[in-house]
Amino acid sequence: MNSPPGDKSLLSAQLYSLGEIVRNLTSHAQNDLEAILSILRELESLHQQIRLESFEPILPQTRHALYPLLRDLEEKGGWPYIERMKLQTLLKLLDLDAEPISPSNLSTQTAMSITINPIKFGTDGWRGVIAADFTFERVAYLAPLAAVILEQEYGQTAERRIIVGYDRRFLAQEFAQVAAEAIAEVGYEVWLSDNYAPTPAFSWAAKAANALGAIVLTASHNPAKYLGFKVKGAFGGSVSPEVTQKIEARLAEPPIDKKDGGSLKTFDPWLSYSQELKSKVNLELIQNAVKSGQLKIFSNPMYGSASGWLERLLDVPVTEINGQRDPLFGGAPPEPLPRYLTAFLEEIKTCQAPEKLRVGLVFDGDADRLAAVDGQGCFLSSQNLIPILIEHLASRRGLTGEIIKTVSGSDLFVHLAELYKLPLFETAIGYKYIAERMLSSKVLIGGEESGGIGYGTHIPERDALLSALYVLEAVVKSGQDLSVLHRQLQEQTGFFSDYDRLDLPLANMSVRNLLVERLKNNPPEVIAGQKVINCLTVDGYKFRLADGRWLLIRFSGTEPVLRLYCEAGNLSQVRETLEWARDWANSITK
């Protein structure tokens, strides 16, 4: 319960008096080391007592009730923390062989935590729960190691320069500052972003600035309690698994020594990145469609890094919702899925605007994944958008190249590759695999079902803003609604399907191991009444069934979640298959 204003003023006065008493005690004990140490111990004991007995018992029990407290902490100075002096500081004062204190040094406690709870890179970077796994000490230790590995990989052609960026998550900017300082202290030139920005903007900056690579503090689409550490190469895309394995291996070695020659400056990622995007599309065509009343654009950045960027790029009005900063993302993960977009879908569906064409664009937390909404308020995932973009790039723009899909991509991609006589290549899930292929082949488009789409004419990186511009260009040039464009492609290829995905949270790793063991040693032979024809194990277990539908069972690379994917001839078959898979998983883990 909030205190009346008068009570707050009285509390402030009493706290000031209490502070004066402590300051006076300290002043009187100025040269008495033992007395000052006693004062510090008493303050620490009081801090712990108040926290345990008075503060923690009245903490809010719901996420929404907790939000005002988190906002207050962020706006008014963070958690009241009493720091203990490190032993190495005392040793340094005695001129003993203590390590210099810097963000790149690692305390014994943090070294043990990395051994006991190791940093592991998933499908795109390392992610962890803030304050539990993801801490300032760990980031300060990891960042210089990543810089060293990036120099080993790309130092022959790039400058000793590292880009550091961040998204809008809780403390992301502060973590980025720690990372930047730690990298600078071991001798690198560091460019730290002066504001949040889409992750692809930092990937582009790495290439445009001839840097060794970029470090981006973001957890992308994961829930609010997570933060992450993405590593981008000098070429402007996610580094390969081999590179992240080298970073992980380096964690077992001693910390990097401080070196002279490093520097840190801030930069604005907007100018160079926006010029690159504008050069890829007919911006004037889209602008004229909006100005003439032909097109209305809706944008939902899901409180993330795309906020404000689409309107800034187009320089025409865009109706944006959820553009304000909210570290809790409105109580849901910033992932462009229908269950998190109910209000947005309804707004477009009920909009009475006179424009013939209406397009909704949805961005994930760091703006590297995209989904869309048609003029009737119907959701389109990248399973729908990638075919539209293939047709647009190949037919209207006359571009050629390989189509790259992941194992969870729609079979419609395969049929369109045949229709346009384009080569097709399939990878495991994770854009880093697509990026690796893009570096060695001429590519038209590469995409994954989760919304990450990239282009051979751009950097080998998924880029939601560029995808959004291409989607708008396709709609304006064709004069057709998005769903109409998708249906026309189904008719052209004779392939009709529906798709959905179901995510099941797992209690712990033992549950995951149990499921893996069953899939490996005793996989199902019949699924939802259909005989299994074959099973692909490139990434997870993809079962092809007798009637043509497929079911993919795999585990998330960034969080404890079992993911179930299905494409079938109609939505009823999709739901039937996913329900079967859910019941199968639950029967094993009970």
Question: Mind listing the pLDDT tens digit for each residue in 301-356?
Answer: 999 999 999 999 999 999 999 999 999 999 999 999 999 999 999 999 999 888 89
Contacts of 144 (CB under 8 A, 6+ apart): 104, 182, 183, 185, 186, 255, 256
Q: Give pLDDT, residue 31.
A: 76
Q: Higher model confidence: residue 33 or residue 101?
A: 33
Q: Give pLDDT, residue 28.
A: 76
pLDDT band at 254 (very low <50, low <70, confident <90, very high): confident
Q: How many residues does the chain have?
A: 590
Whose tokens are 């024809």? That residue is 533
- How many other CB atoms are found less than 10 A from the CB of residue 555? 17
Q: 3-state secondary structure string, 75-99? A: HCCCCCCCCCCCHHHHHHHCCCCCC
Question: Mind listing the pLDDT tens digit for each residue in 1-13?
Answer: 444 445 566 777 7
From the list 433, 407, 241, 367, the residue with the least C-alpha distance to 443 is 433
Mean pLDDT of 217-241: 95
Q: Is 5 exposed, middle or buried (0-12, 13-18, 19+ CB in 10 A)?
A: exposed
Q: Give pLDDT, residue 80.
A: 63
Gap between the Cα atoms of 369 and 378, Å rounded? 18
Gap between the Cα atoms of 265 and 271, Å rounded? 17
